[in-house]
Amino acid sequence: MERNSEIPGFYKRTVEERRQVVREWGNLTEAEARSYDIPPGIDRGILERMVENVIGAFPLPLGVATNFRINGADYLVPMAIEEPSVIAAASNSAKVTRATGGFRAQTSDPVMIGQIQVLDVVDPSAARLRILGEKANLLAAANAKDPMLVKFGGGARDLEVRVVPSPRGTMLVVHLLVDARDAGGMNAVNTMCEALAPTVAQLSGGRVVLRIISNLAVYRVARASATFPAAALATENATGPEVVEAILDAYTLACVDPFRCATHNKGIMNGISAVVVATGNDFRAIESGAHSYAAFLAKDGGVLRPLTTYEKDRNGDLVGTIELPTAVGLIGGATAVHPTAKANVKLLGVKGAQELAQVLVSVGLAQNFGALRALATEGIQRGHMSLHARNIAATAGATPAEVDAVVERLIAGHAIRIDRAREVLEEMRRHPKS
Ligand code: MEV
């Protein structure tokens, strides 16, 4: 019989009832269904209030990056991520920066952009001025929607109006700039945009459609820099200055080639997103902001720009910088309710969203440096593969006591595959001393 995914009242059922439905649907074993269990220490009610149709939880590994020193203070940085090597690389890179004082980080004010799209305006340039002429009243009306934000020093700050040609006629796009303080800003900005829309429509003589935050948060950026001493970068096969040159060569490809730049920036986000997830923030917003900023930076030419830069200083040491939008909050959203996110924010010890943003960009720079250093020297696969090999060994059935020996043989044989792991394991068990 054909199955029907239209399940009336599914959302009203209990977690157990839903679990039973999906278990039958997916033909899941008891053990498979148990893997959905909500971990002890997490109140299921919290998860049920966060999203719909909950059947369980999906635990990611949570690790902690060590060695981070940012603006003179030390941090242990929680990172939730499925990818091996990321946490180790961040920790190793952060260690290299300690001799030169660690990371120096800063932020702009936490100003988000809300967009109001206006169509069917007959005189867009004049309408733009009519709206700008009412700026003070519009900002006051926006702020009246969120007195708490205003009380904490935030609120609507400015208004911009863009005239944007489009295949469906010229549009006006009003940008409401809102200082979101310690919030991500989504709710405050969207509410304000919706509130201003009727007045904007009236002033422009047009028709409003979209009223929504922009993830290209160009006014809410964080920046960090760090010096990686050449002397600390020497390998068995290359001197420190040679490694600096190789990293600069590797970085430069990201500046001139979008295919490399995409991967370069992905590596940065390995670190940033892991902290964003661990602190319960909206990782899609941060990813969208980062990658659209990479395109925005290329407005004077090219397609994408790397979110980091590398230069050599007078001493021949490598200096890295990073800048990207960081629309993270500490109040509202999952950060304020998810118990693991709350514990991680406490562990991190950040006092506000801007401090969190400074940690994020420092981790992003560390992650990127770690990737470039590996790529420019021994290649990424050696470090990557040893962790991968551990997974393969365990999947092949190696016990904890056998894993190391299996991994060693897989790496030595340059064949990190499940079939080879099974063979190795069989051989080891047949000849325990070999
Ligand atoms: C892998 O997740 C990330 C890297 O590809 C980043 C990079 O190439 O810079 C290693």
Note the pLDDT of residue 412.
87
What atom in ligand 1 is closest to the CA of residue 260?
8
Q: Enumerate residues 6+ apart whose C-beta is below 8 A from 262.
A: 304
Mutate to test the pocket of ligand 1, among 83, 264, 378 (most ligand atoms within 8 A of CB): 264
Task: Tell me which residue has its CA closest to atom 1 in ligand 1.
Answer: 267
What atom in ligand 1 is closest to the CA of residue 380?
10
Q: Is the pTM of this model over 0.85?
A: yes
Question: Rounded to a whole number, what is the largest CA-CA distance in the chain?
Answer: 86
Note the pLDDT of residue 56.
97
Q: How far is the CA of 382 from the centre of ligand 1 (A)?
A: 13
Q: How far is the CA of 96 from the centre of ligand 1 (A)?
A: 19
Does the CB atom of residue 106 touch ligand 1 within 6 A? no
N-terminal to C-terminal alpha carbon distance within the chain: 55
Q: Label residues 383-419 b or e (16+ Cβ within 10 Å = b).
A: bbbbebbbebbbebebeeebbeebbebbeeeeebeee
Note the pLDDT of residue 434.
55
Note the pLDDT of residue 433.
66
What atom in ligand 1 is closest to the CA of residue 270?
2
What atom in ligand 1 is closest to the CA of residue 264?
9
Does the CB atom of residue 253 touch ligand 1 within 6 A? no
State the catalytic residues: 83, 266, 282, 384
Q: Three-class SS of residue 158?
A: strand
Q: How far is the CA of 268 from the centre of ligand 1 (A)?
A: 8
Does the CB atom of residue 105 touch ligand 1 within 6 A? no
CA–CA separation, 201 vs 116, rounded Å? 10
Note the pLDDT of residue 386.
77
Q: How far is the CA of 157 from the centre of ligand 1 (A)?
A: 38
pLDDT-flagged residues of the chain (< 50): none
Q: Quick count: other Cβ atoms within 10 Å of Cβ 286?
A: 26
Mutate to test the pocket of ligand 1, among 79, 249, 260, 270 (most ligand atoms within 8 A of CB): 270
Note the pLDDT of residue 164.
98
Strands 111-119 and 207-214, sheet pairing: antiparallel
Would you call 32 exposed, middle or buried from its count of C-beta atoms within 10 A (0-12, 13-18, 19+)?
exposed
Note the pLDDT of residue 411.
86
Note the pLDDT of residue 107.
98
Note the pLDDT of residue 390.
87
